[in-house]
Amino acid sequence: MLLNILIGLGVAFFGFVLQTSIGGINRKIVGRLQKRYGPKWYQEFLDIFKLLSKRATSHGWIFDFGVIMALGGIIATAMFMPITNNIVAFAGYDNFFIFVYLIAVGMLGMAMSASGSGNPFASIGVMRALTTMLAYEVPFMIIVLTIIKLTGFSSLTEIGLFQQASGNNWFLIALPLGGIVGILSLMGMLGKKPFETYIAPAEIASGPMVEYGGKQLGMLFIMHEITVFIEVSLFVHLFLGGAENIFIFLIKYFLTYTTLNLISNVNGRLKIDQVVKFYYKWPLLMAVTQAIIAIYFGWVI
Amino acid sequence: MASIEILILILVASSIVSYFLTKFNSFAGSVLTIFSTMFVFVSLAYYGFNDALVTTVNLLPGFTFEFTYLGAYFAIIVAFVYSMVSFFHPYFVDHYKYKNAYNMLFLLSLAGVLGAFFTDSFLQLFFFFELIVWTTMFLIPLGKSKSAAVSYFGFSAAGSFAMLFGILVMFREVGSFDITAGLASLSGTNAVLVFVSFLIAGFAKLGVFPLHIWLPIAHGNAPHPFSPVLSGALVKLGAFVAVLALIRISPASTVITAISLPYAHYIIALLGAVSIVFGTLMAIREDDAKKLLAYSSMSHGGYIIVAFSLLDSVAFAGGFYHILAHALASAGAFMAIAAVARQTGTTKMSEMGGIIHKMPITYIVYLVAIISMAGIPPMGGFISKWLIFQAVIDKGLIFIAIAVFFGSIGSFLYVFRPLAALFLGQEFPQFKKIKEAPILMLIPMIIITLLNIYTGVLPNGILGFINKIIIELGFAPLIINSPALTISGNNGLLFPALIAGVFGFGVVVAFVIFILLKKSRQVGLMDTYTAANFIHTEELLHYSVDFYAPLERLYEKYTTKMTDFYDGLANKVKELGKLAKYLFMSKYVEVAIFWIVAILAFLLWGEL
C-alpha cells in the first residue's frame, strides 16, 4: 500500500513537472507564432518558486483552508491517473468517475477560498467557472457514456487497452463526432479561448485568482498545472488509445496540448451565455447523435 | 425486544403528555420530545438491524403489522431525522403561536410514519398516511405563511385519494388489502390503473414533476426546524409508494428492446429526468436558501424515481442508498440554514454575508452536506450517484443520462450559492455581533456531518442491509466485497475507503507544503483589489444578488410555465365551483323555478 501511495505521489509530481515544462515550451511556441522570442521554457518553474518563497497576505482561515483543500484534492485525483498501461498507482481503481468528481473537490476548495477573499471579482469568476463547467461537462459525459457502453469498462487503463487491441481504432477515429465533442469539451475544461471567460484578465482581473499572491498563488499555480495534466491525460486515455509506454504518452500528450493551444490562440473570447448556448447547441447535438449511432445502431468505425 | 405496537403507543402517549408539559414549560416538553424520538430511533435501529422487531398486536385491535426490510429501512431513516431535528425544539417552539401543539403534532406524525412503514394492509397504510398529512398540515402554517399549508394539503390529498382509488381497484380484483400479495396478483387493465394511481400518489408525496409545486412553497415557509423533516424524511413516503408501484406491479407493457425496459417504466424514468432538470434550473435562480434546497429535493426525488424505474439491482441499490444519502445531506443543509436563520432572522441570501467568521461549525456542517448533495467523494452522495450512473450507462439510456449528468453538475452550481452568498464573502456589519448556534443544536448537526462522511467512506455495511431489501423484492443482490471494502458496479470497481484515504493524504501533503512556507500576513476582508475605486460599504463588495444572472437570462422566461398551468387549473376549478353555486345554491328566482320544473318533470316522467 505504501508503495502504491508513493507511485501515486510520483505520478502527481511527474504531472506537475511535465505540464509546467510543456506549458513553458508552449509559451515559446506561441511567442514565435506572434514574432516574439518568448520566455525560456523553464520560466513557469521560476514563477512558481518565486511565488512560493514570497510572503503574502491572507484573508482569514477559509482563504488558506480552501487553497489546501484545492491542492490536496487535485493531488489526490492525480494519484489515481494512469500514465501508461503499467504505470498506475491503484490498478483497477482508475475509474472515470473518480476523475470527474474528485477533481470537483479541488475546484470546490478553490471556489471556496476565492469567495472567502471577499472580492466580488473572485465571486464573478467562480460563477463563470461553474457556469462553463455546466456547459462543457454534459456533452463530454454523453460521449464517455458511449465509450463505457462500447467497451464495458469505466477504468481508464482498460479503455486504453481496448483501443490498443487489434481491430479497434482510437475513439477519436472510431467515434468521429464524439472526437470533435471531446476536443471542444477539453478546450472548455482547460479554459482555453474562446472559453476562457472565467479568467478573462482584462475584464474581471483574472477572476478567482484576483486576491492571491505569494505562497497561496504559488500553490494554486501548482494545482492548475496538475489539473491540466489530469484533463489532458484523460483525453489521451479516452480518445487517443492510451499509451503502451512513456514515450508514446509524452508524444500524445505534447501533441494534444500544443494543438489545443494553437487553436486557442487564433480565437477571441465568448461571453458566458454564448459559451452555454454554444455547448448546448452543437456539441450536445453531436454527442447525442454519436451516442445514438454507436449504441443503438452499433455503427462504429 | 421492541414491539412496533408499543413504540407507536409510546409516541402517542408522549405526544399527549408533551402537549400539557409544553404548556407549563416549553423546555421540559421539548426535552420529552427529544427523549421519546431518540428512544424510538434507537430501538428501531438496534432491533431492526438484528431482525428482532416484534410485530404481534395485543393492544390495538384491528391493526396488523409486518416486518419487511423495505419498511424497516425507511422507518429507521425517518426516525433518525426526526430524532435529530427534535434537538432544535427547545430553541424554536417558543416562537410559535401554538407551541404545545407543535410538539404534540411532531410526535404524532412520527407515530403515523412508523405505522405506515410497518403495516401489512393497504387500508391501514391509507389511515397512517392521512394521520401524517393531517398532523403536518397543522405544523406547516406555524411558519411564515398559512397558505403554504393549503398547497401542501391540496397535493397530499390528491395523492392520497389517487392511492385510495388504486387500493379499491386492487381490492375489487384481488379481494384483499394485503400489500405484498395484492399487488403481485394484479393483471390487465387493473394493473395499469393501480400502477398509475399509485405513481400519482408517489409523485405527489415525493414532489416530482409535474406534481412538485407544493414543494418549494411548503419547504420554504414551514417552521425552520420542520423543513429538514419535510425534506429529509416525509417526502421519502412518496419514494416508498413509488417503490411499491414500480417494482411490485408489472403492468402489461411492451419492452423496448434497445434499452430492455418496459415503456411504462421508461416514461416514468423520463418524468424523473424532467424533474431533475427542472429542479436544478429552478434551484439555480432561487434567492431564498430554503426554497433553493426545496428545489434541490425535487431534483433528488427525480434521481430516486429514475433509479427505481430502471429495474436493475445496481440501480435499486443506488436508489435506496440515495434515499439515505439525500436524507442525511438535506437534513444537514436545512438544519444549518435553520441555525443561521435563528441567529440572523432571515433565510434570504441577498441579505446575508460573511456568517462563516461567527458560525464556523455551522459552515462545516453545511459544507459537508452540500458535498454529499452534489455527489462529490468522499461523501455518501457520491456512492449513490455512482451506482445510478452505472445502471444508466449499462442500459444505454442517452436522454436520461443527459438529465442525470446535468443535474449532477448543476447541483455544484446551486449548492455553492448559499455557500458563497451566505457564509463567505464580505462580513456585514449587522452580523458582526451574532454568535455560533447553541451547543444542543450543534450536537445533531455534528452527528449528521459524521454520518455524511461515514456513508461515503464505508458504505458496505449499509449496502449489505440494502441487499436484503433487494433480495426481498426478488432481484439479484449488488456484489459487494465487505472485507476488501469494494463495490462492483456494471462496468467497474469502486473502493470508497481508498478514495477517502488518498484524498486525506493529498490534503496532508498540501498542508505540509503550506505550513513549511513563510507565514502570511492577516488582512481584513475590505482590504481587497477594487480596480482603484474607493468602496467603504460591505454590501457593495459582496456579490450575491442574481448570482448566476447570465445563465438565468437564458431560461427565465420559461420558469413560470408550470405555475401558470396550475393557476389556470385553479381558475377553472373556481369557475366550476361558481357554476355549481349558481345552479344549486343561488338566490335567483329563475333557477328555483327551473329546478321545480325539472324535478316535477322527473317525477312525472312515467305518468304523462
Closest-CA residue of chain B to A68? B510
Q: What pLDDT digit, counting tens, does each position of B198-251 carry?
A: 888 888 888 888 888 888 888 888 888 888 888 888 888 888 888 888 887 777
> Quick one: B542 and B582 in the same domain?
no
The reply to whether B231 falls in a domain is no
pLDDT tens readout for residues B562-579 = 888 888 988 998 999 888
Write out the residue range of the structural domain in which residue B593 sits. 577-608
Cell of B561: 410555465
Q: With 70 as the cut, is the pLDDT of residue B607 above it?
A: no
Nearest CA in chain A to B548: A127
Residue B398 is nearest to which of A72, A218, A291, comparing CB atoms?
Answer: A291
Q: Look at residues A171, A296, A301, A297 and name the one whose alpha carbon lies nearest to residue B398.
A: A296
Contact yes or no for A134 and B541 at CB 8 A: no
Nearest chain B residue (CA) to A91: B493
Backbone phi and psi for residue B3, each to the nearest 5 degrees, phi listed first: -100, 135
**First-to-last C-alpha distance (Å) of chain B:** 75
Cβ within 8 Å, pair B507-A58: no
Please choose, from the candidates A89, A92, A123, the residue with its C-alpha nearest in 3D space to the C-alpha of residue A12. A89
Indicate if B540 and B594 belong to the same structural domain. no
Asked if the Cβ–Cβ distance from B374 to A69 is below 8 Å, we say: no
**Chain A residues touching B409 at Cβ < 8 A:** 133-134, 137-138
Tally the domains of chain A. 1
The answer to whether A138 contacts B543, with C-beta atoms less than 8 Å apart, is no
**Where is pLDDT greater, at B86 or B145?**
B86
d(CA B583, CA B593): 11
User: Which residues 6+ apart lie within 8 Å of B30 measured at CB?
Assistant: B22, B86, B89, B90, B93, B103
Mutate to test the interface with B, among A13, A58, A61, A123 (most CBs of B within 10 A): A123
* C-alpha dist (Å) from residue B327 to A151, B79, B87, B331, B408: 35, 11, 17, 6, 17
For residue A219, the chain B residues in CB contact (below 8 A) are 510, 513-514
d(C-alpha B153, C-alpha B156), whole Å:
5
Chain A CB contacts of B401 under 8 Å are: 141-142, 145
Q: What is the CA radius of gyration of chain A?
A: 19
Query: For the ranges A221-230, B45-54, B189-198, B300-309, which has the lowest average pLDDT?
Result: B45-54
Mutate which: A2, A4, A127, A189, vs B, most B CBs within 10 A? A127
Q: Which amino acid is at B350?
A: S
ipTM for the predicted complex comes to 0.91
Over residues A107-165, the pLDDT tens digits come to 888 888 888 887 888 888 888 888 888 889 899 999 999 988 888 888 888 888 888 88
Tell which wins on pLDDT, A70 or A1.
Answer: A70
Among the listed ranges A50-59, B95-104, B203-212, which one has the minimum average pLDDT value?
B95-104
pLDDT tens readout for residues B313-360: 888 889 999 999 999 999 999 989 888 888 888 888 888 878 888 888
The rounded distance, in Å, linking the Cα atoms of B485 and A134 is: 32
Q: How confident is the model at residue B521 (pLDDT cuts 50, 70, 90)?
A: confident
Question: Which residue in chain A has the smallest CA separation from B360?
Answer: A62
H or E element that contains B262: strand B261-262
Q: Is B436 among the domain residues?
A: yes
Residue B516 backbone dihedrals phi, psi, to 5 degrees: -75, -25
Smallest Cα–Cα separation from B128: which of B179, B88, B174, B173?
B179
Q: B108 with B358: CB under 8 angstroms?
A: no
User: In 3D, which of B412, B418, B410, B421 has the Cα closest to residue B281?
Assistant: B410
Distance CA B481, CA B509 (A): 30
Q: How many angstroms separate the CA atoms of A93 and B256, rounded?
A: 33
Distance CA B441, CA B96 (A): 18
Separation in Å, CA of A69 to nearest CA in chain B? 6
Number of domains, chain B: 2
My answer on whether B604 and B499 are in the same domain is: no
Interchain contact, A57 vs B523, CB within 8 Å: yes
Question: What does the pLDDT read at residue A201?
Answer: 64
- pLDDT computed for residue A202 by the predictor: 64
Give the lowest-confidence range in A194-203, B58-67, B124-133, B410-419.
A194-203
Distance CA B546, CA B554 (A): 13
Same domain for B292 and B396? yes
CA angle A89, A93, A94 (to 5 degrees): 75
- What number of CA atoms fall less than 13 Å from residue B49's CA on the CB side? 12
Separation CA A254–CA A247 (nearest Å): 10
Give me A32's grid cell: 514565435
Partners of residue B511 in chain A, C-beta under 8 Å: 68, 72
Interface of B with A in 471-500 (CB under 8 A): 489, 491-495, 498-499
| DSSP three-state, residue A57 | strand
User: How far A85 CA sits from the closest chain B CA (Å)?
Assistant: 17
> B538 and B584 in one domain?
no
pLDDT digits (tens, 9 = 90+) for A246-257: 898 999 999 999
Say yes or no: B398 contacts chain A, CB-CB below 8 A.
Answer: yes
pLDDT of residue B449: 92
- Using pLDDT thresholds of 50, 70 and 90, give the confidence band for residue A200: low
Give the closest residue to B139 by CA, choosing from B226, B238, B23.
Answer: B226
B590 and B527 fall within a common domain = no
Amino acid present at A268 = G
Name, in order, each residue with C-beta under 8 angstroms of B32's C-beta and a sequence gap of 6 or more.
Answer: B14, B17, B18, B21, B103
pLDDT over 80 (residue B483): no
Contacts of A97 in chain B (CB under 8 A): 386, 389
Asked if the C-beta of B558 comes within 8 angstroms of chain A's C-beta atoms, the answer is: no
CB contact under 8 A, A145 and B507: no
Residue A25 near residue A41 (C-beta atoms within 8 A) = yes
B18, B37 in Cβ contact below 8 A?
no
pLDDT at A203: 67
CA-CA-CA-CA torsion sign (B465, B466, B471, B472): positive
Q: Flag whether pLDDT at B396 surpasses 80.
A: yes
Strand partners of residue A155: A95
A295 and chain B: CB distance < 8 Å anywhere? Answer: yes
Q: Per-residue pLDDT tens for A252-289?
A: 999 999 999 998 888 888 888 888 889 988 899 999 99
Residue B384 has pLDDT above 70, yes or no: yes
Confidence bin at A232 (pLDDT 50/70/90): very high
CA A87 to chain centre: 20
Whether B493 and A95 lie within 8 Å, measured CB to CB: yes
Are residues B349 and B417 in contact, defined by beta-carbon separation less than 8 angstroms?
A: yes
Q: How do strand B486-488 and strand B53-54 relate by DSSP bridges?
A: unpaired
Nearest to B526, CA basis, from B353, B363, B360, B362: B353
Domain end point (choices B529, B548, B567): B548
Residue in B with minimal Cα distance to A77: B503
Confidence of residue A230 (pLDDT cuts 50, 70, 90): very high
How far apart (Å, rounded) are the C-alpha atoms in residues B117 and B236? Answer: 11
Q: Who wins on pLDDT, B330 or B486? A: B330
Please report, to the nearest 10 degrees, the dihedral formed by the alpha carbons of residues A260, A265, A271, A277 taken in order.
-40
- Distance, CA of A205 to CA of A197 (rounded, Å): 11
Contacts of A271 (CB under 8 A, 6+ apart): A197, B550
What distance in Å separates the CA atoms of residue B20 and residue B123, rounded to the nearest whole number?
32
- Nearest by CB to B505, which of A5, A60, A128? A5
What distance in Å separates the CA atoms of residue A266 and residue A150, rounded to the nearest whole number? Answer: 35
**CB within 8 A of B221, min separation 6: which ones?**
B140, B143, B144, B145, B148
Domain of residue A165, residue span:
2-297
Does residue B604 share a domain with residue B496?
no
Query: Residues with Cβ < 8 Å from B248, sequence gap 6 or more?
Result: B180, B183, B184, B473
Asked if residue B316 is part of any domain, the answer here is: yes
State the average pLDDT over residues B388-413: 88
- Answer whether A145 sits within 8 Å of B392, measured CB to CB: yes
Query: To the nearest whole number, what is the mean pLDDT of chain B?
Result: 84
Cross-chain Cβ contact B420/A123 below 8 Å: yes
At A20, the pLDDT band (50, 70, 90 cuts) reads very high
For residues B330 and B366, give the distance between their C-alpha atoms in angstroms, rounded to a whole number: 9
> Residue B87 pLDDT > 60, yes or no?
yes
Tell me, letter by letter, the H, E, C secondary structure of B371-427. Answer: HHHCCCCCCHHHHHHHHHHHHHHHHCCHHHHHHHHHHHHHHHHHHHHHHHHHHCCCC
Beta-carbon neighbour count of residue B168 at 10 Å? Answer: 14
Q: Are residues B452 and B383 in the same domain?
A: yes
Q: What was the pLDDT predicted at B55?
A: 76
What is the rounded distance in angstroms from the CA atom of residue B157 to the CA atom of residue B163?
Answer: 10
**Which residue in A93, A105, A142 is closest to B402 by CB distance?**
A142
B557 and A CB contact within 8 Å: no
Flag whether pLDDT at B1 surpasses 60. Answer: no
d(CA B370, CA B411): 9
Give the containing element (helix H, strand E) for A284: helix A272-291
- pLDDT for the residue B604: 84
Distance from CA of A35 to the nearest CA of B (A): 32
In the beta sheet, which residues pair with residue B54?
A: B3
Instruction: Verify whether the Cβ–Cβ distance B548 to A131 is below 8 Å.
Output: yes
* Long-range contacts, A278-284 (Cβ 8 Å, 24+): A278/A135, A279/A135, A279/A136, A279/A138, A279/A139, A279/A184, A279/A185, A279/A188, A280/A135, A280/A138, A283/A136, A283/A139, A283/A180, A283/A181, A283/A184, A283/A185, A284/A138, A284/A139, A284/A142, A284/B402
- Please judge whether A72 and B503 are an interchain contact, meaning their C-beta atoms are less than 8 angstroms apart: yes
- Supply the DSSP string of B153-203, one letter for each residue: HHHHHHHHHHHHHHHHHHHHHHS--BHHHHHHT--HHHHHHHHHHHHHHHH
| B113 in a structural domain | no
Residues ≥6 apart with Cβ < 8 Å to B375: A101, B381, B382, B384, B385, B386, B408, B411
Residue B143 pLDDT more than 80?
Answer: no
Residue matched to cell numbers 413516503: B237
DSSP secondary structure letter of residue B352: -
- Which of B66, B87, B325 minimizes the C-alpha distance to B181? B66
In chain B, which residue's Cα lies nearest the Cα of A79? B502
pLDDT over 80 at A23, yes or no? yes
Q: What is the layout of strands, in order, in the sheet containing B486-488?
A: B479-481, B486-488, B493-494
Calculate how close chain B gets to A235, using CA atoms only, in Å. 19
Q: How far is A32 from chain B (nearest CA, A)?
A: 32
- Whether B357 and chain A come into contact, CB under 8 Å, resolves to yes
User: Is residue B256 less than 8 Å (CB to CB) from chain A?
Assistant: no
Residue B369 in domain: yes
Cell readout for B479 is 456484489
